[in-house]
Chain A
Amino acid sequence: MFKIGRGARSMELALDEAHWVVRAREGQEHSMRLLIERHRNRLVRVASNILRDANEAEDVAQEAFLKAFRELDRLRDDQAFSGYVYRICVRLCMDRLRSRRAEPAEFESATADQGEAIENRVVIERLLDRLPYDLRVTLVLREVEQLSYDEIAEVLRVPVGTVRSRLHAAREKFRALWLEAVG
């Protein structure tokens, strides 16, 4: 999954990546740097969308790379690094959400005069915080990250049927919460 694209160019990129993975496994930092540069934006983006916090997302993305490099021996297909590191990142985000549950959410940053965009963002963050973390992650992966059902199932390691039911429940709950919030 998460092949970079189709055609000769994408094949070339995938082979480059497999080469970097082999080198990174041997501890070569230059290859690690190349892998980071290729996947950094995608990881920070998905972490930001799930956690709704840019700084925390950056931390999680760094942690995901670290974990991926340190456990690179577990990766059997060298061309599958992209999905591998992405999966680690999403799982770390879920761990953060799980640990965050106990803490009350803070929304002091939102004030009436900060503009509609910020207000909307805060409303969405508040709504997402009220979703159970598994529904939240499924919803974000589908609606924001535009992953297919199969890809979500692979990332979360659950059956496709579970993804479908979670997504349905998440959309329903989110709609209800949104209605409640905007009136």
Chain B
Amino acid sequence: MRNPLVCRKFRRLATEARDRELTPSEKAFLGHHAAACKDCEEFERQTSASLSALTGLAFVPKPSAGRFARTVLRQYRLRSARESLSYWSPAILAAAVAATLVLAALQIATANRAADSFRPGFSQARRITNEPVLPDLTPAIPPAHPR
């Protein structure tokens, strides 16, 4: 019995049987058609065999060693640190530049002050020149006349 439409229906149902419970009438259809159509029977056998081979080779993971969790957590810490560093790096850079500028300014100011202390400044010179000249208040003693 080769009817392409019926064979297509058989193949669709044969595949769906792996995913859902077929109705009694669908099961009956599959049984009848498989008995009558050798190609479809072969199709079902091949599909079943190939997929069983796949399912039978499922991996079974080895029991978890603590190493797995340790590796994940180490990576997590590492990436978090790296991320937070890259997040803060512009701010850190700006702070470093600002600190350098402040230090440089302080250094310059200190150096100027030190230089001033060794050089007689304008104000100091004026203080000297403007030193009040006090009047000489010592009474004039007339010279003793020789007798």
Contact = CB atoms under 8 A, between A and B. Distances in A.
A88 to B, nearest CB: 13
Interface stretch (B51-59, B96-104, B114-122): B51-59
Nearest to A179: B46
A6 B37 CA distance: 44
Given A48-B61, A49-B59, A70-B79, A171 B15 contact: yes
B61 A37 contact: no
B68 A175 contact: no
B14 to A, nearest CB: 10
A73 to B, nearest CB: 14
Chain A interface bracket (under 10, 10 to 19, 20 to 34, 35 or more): 35 or more
Contacts of B56: 120
Contacts of A144: 54-55, 58
B72 A175 contact: no
B131 to A, nearest CB: 74
A124 B57 contact: yes
A116 to B, nearest CB: 11
Contact of B76 (A70, A123, A128, A149): A70
Interface of B: 12, 15, 18-19, 43, 46-47, 49-51, 53-61, 63-64, 68-69, 71-73, 75-76, 79-80
Given A40-B61, A57-B61, A65-B72, 10 more contacts: A29-B73, A32-B73, A41-B63, A49-B58, A62-B68, A62-B71, A70-B79, A128-B54, A175-B43, A179-B50
